[in-house]
Amino acid sequence: MTTDPSQGQPSADGELWPVDPAYEPQGGLRRLTHRDADWSGLQVVVVGLGLSGFAAADALLERGAAVTVVSRDSTPLMLERAQILQVLDATVIFGDDVPDAPPPGTHLVVTSPGVPPVNPFLQAAAAAQIPVWGEVELAWRMRAKEGAAPWLTVTGTNGKTTVVTMLESILRAAGLRATAAGNVGLPILEAVLHPEPYDVLAVELSTFQLHWSRSISPYASCLLNVAPDHLDWHGSFEEYRRVKGRIFDRTQVAAIYNVQDHTTEHLLEDAEVVDGCRAVGFTMLTPAPSMVGLVEDVLADRAFVPDRQRNAAELANLSDLVGPDGTPPAPHYVANALAAGALSRAYGVGPVAVRDGLRDYQPQPHRVSTVATIDGVRYVDDSKATNTGAAAASIAGLDSVVWIAGGLLKGADVDDLVRDAASRLRAVVLIGRDRGLLREALQRHAPDVPVVDISSTETGAMAQAVRAASEHARAGDVVLLAPAAASMDMFDNYGARGDAFAAAVRDLAGGAQ
């Protein structure tokens, strides 16, 4: 699991990494390893005009590249961005006018993260041997030549946003100028090119972003867990799993894995990291040397201490993780805190700052958030549970649940989720396009659990779902929105779905008074 940094791309300390010639056949791009390189004259096509596409086009134009932006969509915000880029001499092409392939003379294609590799335009670029970078790859190559902020990178099927924002809180508690970036917070290019440089970046990376990245060399990296997700984008679980493992490639100091998810350890064993990079595990059990874990109610570090065979450092107490409503932390939340603590310790943060950062941390919206308690029933918004693994973790921390579930399952199998959750279910309310797959699994594995099927896929169906859930709930139960599915069949995003749930609960509370 090591590599010899002998040629190709530079790491953070200036050493060079091998570059896959099939990925970058035009060797001239290898010189583009920092923001002050000569980007002028480069002919670039940027695919997509979302936040990342706009940031990429703007950064390239500022450095003298000739930029064409293509976008099948043309929302009012995209049209506004297009006007700005056109003033800067970019060419912007929308809708049916987008060509089938990059124009002749194109040196590079930069793609937005949501565009899959089977996209015909990207396939045409590959066939023409035109390199394709993601915006994260571009950001890595746009770092400062000297003194660039190190990256602490995180991925996983579930929990990555929580871990990255926890890590941001810890780094700031240590007095560092730090921010969460990438798949959360600032677009990574904005963070890298910020006029007031950061000391360190906490970088969340999705598999979409990792797929198009080849030269990133993080100071420390972490893979939280791997469960089936985005199979429609990747084509198979094996490919999704493989891409998740890329988070470890070229890691310099510490590669952090989940002791209780063996896939993460196996992917680390297969990774190409820097000589001397340490493997560090996090676990909900008592940690062995080179691990962080739990000793009774203490988050303990046996990885980044002197004489780790006999010593440990106390990072925090479980009481430091109690939510603002006094709810004890769920097991997956504790695991996330351990992962964030391990990453910060790899960077040299002291135990007191870890504790203070975890105490100060405010959980992100729509992640196991209590909306209200009505007649002894707690209503919990976990709309961010957009896959089966996240929903399973949410349900596992509860005893008696009225579960609101459904949406776009993205090719996921729900049998294991339903089978494992069956004993905790008081009732289930199904919403969304793929609810039939959940209903069939419930018939197989929980035939005695009452099921309410909300056939409407209009946004107002959430109010129907909450009312139906309240009719089945009893004092002491939790009505849990943990859909195990994406939201775009009914809502703009998971946040809008969670907001609709919260609004329906507030309406219910008003009627109960």
The structure tokens listed for 433 are 């396009």
- β-pair type (425-430, 451-453): parallel
What amino acid is encoded at 307 in this protein? D
DSSP state of 319: G
Q: How far, in Å, CA of 114 to CA of 117, rounded?
A: 9
Contact 430, 471 (CB under 8 A): no
Burial group, residue 212, by CB count within 10 angstroms (0-12, 13-18, 19+): buried
| Ramachandran angles phi, psi of 465, nearest 5° | -65, -45
The structure tokens listed for 134 are 């993601």
Q: How far, in Å, CA of 467 to CA of 219, rounded?
A: 49
Q: How far is CA 78 from the centre of its chain?
A: 24
The structure tokens listed for 204 are 């969340």
What amino acid is encoded at 440 in this protein? E
DSSP string over 285-314: SPPPTTEEEEETTEEEESSSSTTTTT--EE
- How big is the CA angle at 318 (ends 315 and 324), to the nearest 5 degrees? 115
Is 161 annotated in a binding site? The answer is yes
Is 156 annotated in a binding site? The answer is yes
Residue 42 to residues 29, 418, 475, Cα–Cα distance (Å): 9, 52, 65
DSSP bridge pairs for 428: 403, 451
Neighbours of 451 (CB within 10 A): 18
What amino acid is encoded at 345 in this protein? R
Neighbours of 272 (CB within 10 A): 17
DSSP string over 225-291: ------HHHHSSHHHHHHHHHGGGTT--SEEEEETT-HHHHHHHHT--EETTPEEEEE-SSPPPTTE
Burial group, residue 296, by CB count within 10 angstroms (0-12, 13-18, 19+): exposed
The structure tokens listed for 38 are 């000569």
Which three-class secondary structure state does DSSP give residue 358? helix
Q: How far, in Å, CA of 430 to CA of 437, rounded?
A: 10
The structure tokens listed for 118 are 């089977």
Contact 129, 50 (CB under 8 A): no
What amino acid is encoded at 385 in this protein? A
Burial group, residue 156, by CB count within 10 angstroms (0-12, 13-18, 19+): buried
Known binding-site positions for ATP? 156-162
Residue ranges for the known binding site are 156-162
